[in-house]
Chain A
């Protein structure tokens, strides 16, 4: 599903470019889950953003579902994100002006793949019944993250990318939310790449890779 081949990425600073990723390669098959761990600043989030087609590598290639990202323009990358990828952010990043129901269905409807039955099933599975008409700022952190997970899964994308999905939640809530996410990802058959600081959470995924100073350890 996802092939990352020898990618390099650096960010410009006043003192010159600072390398963040240096020759990282990995592969992720459909239905597989992979945890990406590492210290702060090791390049985990950058790698996830590149895999999500949110940014471009300086060097190297990324192929998603057989499509090389390098050949796509801005609109092509946007289409790919919309149709093939579901992202779960640490800060939830729900759309504050839309209700829970609209947030849940947002990406699926945008991609033209809205399945009301599946969305209703997700709503039930994530324990969001009765909250559909609420707005994000009326929810707890755990509830918001469950909506974010539902939003990522509603369009049944082939790849789920999660950046510290439980980083803003307490331990018990985080464990419960992760359990839900893993169960639902397994149910859809999607591939999962999750960035986390937590060794304990990483251990619950199929595979685990560790980044150190922009390289896979």
Chain B
């Protein structure tokens, strides 16, 4: 106990160092556990969506189904329960028959309601609490249930028929697994097995993997702070360790005490980090929910639930991270020779010796990244390339900086400049971890910033091509659609029907579109590659277009064939289709009608002079009683698309900014801790005629020079990172490849931000140095530490 209090007395005497250690670890844990909280919330939402009515585990009968056919099957002893599914007013409507619904398909809150007869009466619908205010449900009695995904309405099939305006229809029949089937599946129907995996979870995997990667990067930067603070605290306490050993504390006992102390600190920081992480997640979740909803149609609630598993995981990560960060120090304590003299610079020299080994390891990691790039495949290979690239660069940084500083020193004319460069080089071991953190943070900012900016530039141009028509219409039914066409004919330059049907491609849900032959498409459609006379061939039904993600995922090239109802067709063009993760095929309108004769023409794109758009939209709404969503102008769609886009990257931008902040904190932690160790090196220079103020200014300049060099080195690394994100990770995650565009103005801003972070981090230690009393300086000469 006495030995432990001797160890802990260090922190009492260095409260700022303790605060920085705890803050670094807490921030790292917060960012990590915040991201995990967001992921856990989203995955729980997907699981909820997938498990509604047992879709993830119950067999279904599908085919041409009506109420009469259902009654016939029930009479023949089939244990089936009807489901009507569709979309209305932007909501997913699920109609069920509570009395025949298998127990395995039950939803929380449903049995009690069914028993009460509320659902049966056809007046009550179950919705998620966030969906209670939906306009489309006005006039209905709504009951809230957390078991229903947001944006979904669960109602009796009779009420669902009314809401969807599909009387007498049935989408599928759920089979009760507890009862045997009376015979083979009738030939007009098809047995549909539960989906082997949840489509939403699969689609959004890459998004969550991206978030996890950034969370881990932030955690790694935080662990750099911890490593730096713990390492220097070990060094400062080396004499105390030796004294304790010489007084009879065993090596094992001493290492155990240090371990106990570290775990206690990690526990405190971990708990604080989890609380902070909850706040980060709660702040970011609405944006993430909007992104997932906009990009993937994933129903994720904007509110956060407290989940014990990510709290425990956060504290576990804090403990594990601390142990990793302190492993080297603990090993040194274990092996500490009692009689060796205490030298503060021993740590620095050991680090300098390790520099070459680190550089070799860094080159090795780059080699591994190259191998993963050349030989690997899939998203994990992409992340392996990223990890190898970033970690390798971080390990190489001290050697590269040492080389640059040596070069600068060789060019120095005055002795002060010579000393400045030599001394800066000597500070590298103590600062290298913080500088590595800065390198990673700036590179991540450059890389992700370049990716987002490339995406934005390409996306905006692509939207202009893709949304060439001035107005987009959706009719409520075929009769209105016909009436609208007749009315529009003399009023617009062109009416371009858009027909769509859902279709699976390679096991993935996708869609087939039919487009009319028109100059709008011929002149604007964003084709990445095309056969000669591509539009003539599409018009004549001699070929089809596929989107880039379908071409990449299924390995389709021009001339390859795609199997569709009504026969195979060759691919004659590939087009970019950003923002959509699903496969998509485009046919000529005639070919589409031949293959999908039952699909009604409800949507149109209209060509007309831009100054007439507003008036025509108002006339259409007034004449046909259309809602806001039924008549959308080009600007509105573009605005919405860009909004989805901005939200998608809002989270990434927030994490990036936090990572840069954490890196700044790492620098502050290192500089403050080094400040005490530096006095013996600075005092002789002061004694020989430099003022404390000038020394402080030089110290600040040193920090800025190191930060500037690191930020400049981070630029090519960031561009390499951007390339990997655009050319490898995005292609694997989303199926599209974007051209890389560079924005040097953004780099300048980032370098200035890094310098500002370094200035803030270096200001306090410099101020302290400027205010160091002569008495404190003189203690260096009286009693060398």
- List A residues at the B interface (Cβ < 8 Å): 11, 45, 49, 52, 54-56, 74-75, 78-79, 81-83, 87, 89-91, 93-98, 102, 105-107, 109-111, 114, 137, 151, 163
Cβ of B778 < 8 Å from any Cβ of A? yes
Say yes or no: A54 contacts B418, CB within 8 Å: no
A49 touches B688 (CB 8 A): no
Interface residues of B (CB under 8 A from A): 345, 349, 414-416, 418-419, 422-423, 425-426, 680-681, 683-694, 774-775, 777-778, 780-782, 784
Given A93-B781, A110-B416, CB of A75 within 8 Å of CB of B425? no
With beta carbons under 8 angstroms apart, the residue of B425, B689, B777 that contacts A107 is: B689
In whole Å, how far is B194's beta carbon from the nearest beta carbon of chain A? 69
A97-B419, A110-B415 are known contacts. Are A74 and B692 too (CB-CB below 8 A)? yes
Extra A-B contacts (20), CB below 8 Å, given A91-B784, A107-B689, A110-B416:
A45-B781, A49-B778, A52-B687, A54-B774, A55-B774, A75-B691, A78-B690, A78-B694, A82-B689, A89-B687, A93-B684, A93-B781, A94-B684, A95-B419, A96-B345, A98-B418, A98-B419, A102-B418, A114-B415, A151-B688
Instruction: Using A91-B784, A96-B681, A163-B781 as known contacts, say yes or no to A106 and B419 having CB atoms under 8 A apart.
Output: yes
CB nearest neighbor in B for A84: B689
A56 contacts across to B, CB distance below 8 A: 774
17 A-B pairs (CB sep. < 8 Å): A49-B781, A54-B687, A54-B777, A81-B687, A81-B689, A82-B690, A93-B683, A93-B687, A97-B419, A98-B418, A102-B415, A102-B419, A105-B415, A106-B419, A107-B688, A110-B416, A110-B689
Question: Does A97 contact B681, Cβ atoms closer than 8 Å?
Answer: yes
Instruction: List, in ascending order, chain A residues with CB within 8 A of B782's CB.
Output: 45
The answer to whether A78 touches B775, judged by C-beta atoms less than 8 angstroms apart, is no
A81 touches B415 (CB 8 A): no
Number of A-B contacts (CB under 8 A): 90
Q: How far is the CA of A194 from the CA of B693 in the complex (A)?
A: 29
Pairs A-B, 8 closest by C-beta atoms: A82-B689, A109-B415, A97-B422, A97-B426, A93-B684, A91-B784, A55-B774, A78-B691
CA distance A79 to B690 in the complex (A): 8
- In the complex, what residue of chain B is closest to A49 when comparing beta carbons? B778
Q: Which residues of A contact B681 (CB under 8 A)?
A: 95-97
Q: Which residue of the partner chain, among A45, A81, A97, contacts B688 with CB atoms under 8 Å?
A: A81
Q: Which residue of chain B is the closest to A151 with respect to CB atoms?
A: B688
Instruction: Give min CB distance, B346 to chain A, whole Å.
Output: 10
Set of chain A residues within 8 Å of B415, measured between Cβ atoms:
102, 105-106, 109-110, 114
Report B678 CB to chain A, min CB distance, Å: 11
Cβ contacts under 8 Å, B690 to chain A: 78, 82, 110
The residue in chain B whose Cβ has the minimal distance to the Cβ of A74 is B691
**CA of A94 to CA of B426 in the docked complex: distance in angstroms?**
14
Residues of A within 8 A of B691 (CB): 74-75, 78
Given A78-B689, A107-B688, are A55 and B426 neighbors across the interface (CB < 8 Å)? no
Q: Which residues of B contact A82 (CB under 8 A)?
A: 688-690
A110 to B695, CA, bound (A): 14
Q: Which residues of A contact B680 (CB under 8 A)?
A: 93
Question: Given the interface contacts A82-B688, A82-B689, does A89 sit within 8 Å of B422 by beta carbon?
Answer: no
How far is B778's CA from A52's CA once the two chains are assembled, in angstroms?
Answer: 11
Which residues of the partner chain A approach B693 to less than 8 Å between Cβ atoms? 74-75
Instruction: Report chain B residues within 8 Å CB of A114.
Output: 415
Task: Report A-chain residues with C-beta under 8 Å of the C-beta of B419.
Answer: 95, 97-98, 102, 106
Return the chain B residue nearest A46 by Cβ. Answer: B778
Docked pose: A45 CA to B686 CA in angstroms: 17
Decide if A95 touches B778 in the complex (CB within 8 Å): no
Q: Assuming the A-B contacts A96-B681, A106-B415, A110-B415, are A87 and B688 also in contact, with contact meaning beta carbons closer than 8 angstroms in the complex?
A: yes
